Structure 1
């Protein structure tokens, strides 16, 4: 039987939490101090209809403080421009897409946050059920490992082979590669790889926070459709309600849809070019300085990084100074590679 535990790493400027499935990262939630509470999944707000697009059956909502969301409507329930509505955030914003809202009912007054989203701890408890909570140094290490895996494209399969997970604007493509998986019978080896791929992909997709249309390019040909469908249903059951799985096609592909809910982890960790963002690197810098500070009480600390990373780190560095004292300095080095972070104690 599968076992789930959950962890919380409370950092400076950022809290990371997640779920482990049989000791492998399955979920990663990241909350940063400057995130808008009005765009968090499950937040309830009073919104104002800013614009209505009848052809799209969509209204665009002003949530206040610069936050926006979209609301789909049926022809017989078209909202009016300027109308106040009570809504709940149904899916968080992602790259190029607004958050979406669920209509609760009419309202009175200006845009306002009525009730915040469930806390990160409450979300994790719901996901992990009766799992054990991990905190402290162990949680930080797990969060670092989960973050690294969420950013990978290639993911190994137990017993050999791998899958490549690559999101596009339209869908997420998953390629199954048998690789050097060993076995006496090629068809049996391929079948085992495909079944393993469904389980690993479901876990990693949850870790990455990816949903929408998913397309698997299964390895080999002459597939056991019934076995693959049963494996897919079991693997993606934690994503229900809302999962829809199609039969394997004559081209060896399986299509399914998984509900989108939270913002994809890669949207949080990377910038518009796809590289790790200055903010993410800044959080890594602060974590390393904090760890060195604990390992060298009273020692002087120095850090070196790219200028944009040093700038992004300033708010969290102020918090670090309040925690361990102003016994560190960070040098912004224009010649430093983008993702290089150096921290030393002296």
Structure 2
């Protein structure tokens, strides 16, 4: 199906945003409105601690959060402990680290509040994409979200539909949580994320492994797909790509094609070739990587809550229960509004059944 639009799918506690252009899936975001990533937020903060060894200061922010402000982002500003100053969030909290900040804020920023406090929210993903692609319509399946976006983007720009993500879009989005990505001729990428770096392995498959020309063609396709996956998954930091079926010295010829594939992504750049033949990429950290949002107790719980809402709409007479580990249930209970949104949409609350032995969250019919 050829499509070009920004699709916003809303479910309890979460909204997913997909950018499609000419039938190609080009962008993916997950947002929890009760816990926004904060990028672009203007905050009135207070210097909580000076960190000379890190060439910066830690800044107390709203909701007991602490951000880091490098000295290079606050030249000429008093950074002594207790100082009050407006800051803007330039990088979301991720990987166990707090948000990154800058003191470069618009002139005339209102600083009349009592620190720490929020001055203004940054734009969310749908608004950012709408500004970046002014020719694309924005389509959502939630009336309240349509009203919010129309107030920002204009009435004619935002459409309301029954379902924002069709089966193809759901499949494309779900695939971003999987480590394997299929390639032509039976090859695949395997993406492994660690705390230190991301490793991408190219498996040539049986056909390309026997044919040098096929291996070269597969590596070319792998570079294009790897660049796309890096962008879609919001992978960041150090990234190493291991090409298939080529001597380490010959892999230098892949640097220019990979740089070209990464060119549409302003956050990413090719660093070079390591001594072991890995192609090294650096990508700036900005938004939380999708694997952090899609996995873990909260990601599993919200995915199951989305499934529960679909079942509740298909079978309004059923009363559903969620059987899951205490960690998953606790994560849902700790996200403001998620379970309440399900109850409002389904017409009944979700029955919660903690089960330490549950291998994965499961839905049950209470009366089944």
Cα distance in 2 for partners of 1:288, 1:167 equals 27
Structure 1, 170-179 or 25-34: larger mean CA deviation: 25-34
1:270 aligns with 295
2:157 aligns with none
Q: CA deviation at 1:302?
A: 2.5
* Matching of residue 330 in structure 1 with residue 351 in structure 2: yes
* Matching of residue 255 in structure 1 with residue 272 in structure 2: no
CA 1:76–1:204: 2 relative to 1, 3 Å: closer
Cα distance in 1 for partners of 2:342, 2:237 equals 39
Spell out the pairing of 1:109-188 with structure 2 (5 A cutoff). Answer: 110-126=115-131, 128=133, 130-136=135-141, 137-139=163-165, 141=167, 144-182=170-208, 186-188=211-213
- Superposed CA RMSD: 3.0
SS of the equivalent of 1:65 reads helix
Cα distance in 2 for partners of 1:44, 1:18 equals 26
Do the aligned partners of 2:42 and 2:88 also contact (CA within 8 Å) in 1?
yes
Normalised by the length of structure 1, the TM-score is: 0.83
1:292 aligns with 311
Deviations 1:29-75 (A, max 9, x none): 2222430x5x5111111111111111220211111220111011149
CA 1:129–1:232: 2 relative to 1, 3 Å: farther
CA 1:66–1:341: 2 relative to 1, 3 Å: same
2:362 aligns with 341
Normalised by the length of structure 2, the TM-score is: 0.79
Cα distance in 2 for partners of 1:159, 1:129 equals 38
Cα distance in 2 for partners of 1:140, 1:316 equals 23
Do the aligned partners of 2:325 and 2:356 also contact (CA within 8 Å) in 1?
no
Do the aligned partners of 1:174 and 1:214 also contact (CA within 8 Å) in 2?
yes
2:321 aligns with 303
SS of the equivalent of 1:139 reads coil
Q: CA deviation at 1:335?
A: 6.5
Do the aligned partners of 2:65 and 2:98 also contact (CA within 8 Å) in 1?
no
Do the aligned partners of 1:214 and 1:257 also contact (CA within 8 Å) in 2?
yes
Cα distance in 2 for partners of 1:46, 1:163 equals 44
Aligned length: 332
Which of 242, 264, 268 is matched with 1:238 structurally?
264
Deviations 1:285-341 (A, max 9, x none): 3222322222234x1232341252445445533322223322x65251526523141
CA 1:45–1:181: 2 relative to 1, 3 Å: farther
**Unpaired segments of 5 or more residues in structure 2?**
142-162
**Unpaired segments of 5 or more residues in structure 1?**
272-276
SS of the equivalent of 1:239 reads coil
* Matching of residue 319 in structure 1 with residue 326 in structure 2: no
Cα distance in 1 for partners of 2:287, 2:224 equals 21
Cα distance in 1 for partners of 2:88, 2:175 equals 31
* Matching of residue 223 in structure 1 with residue 250 in structure 2: yes
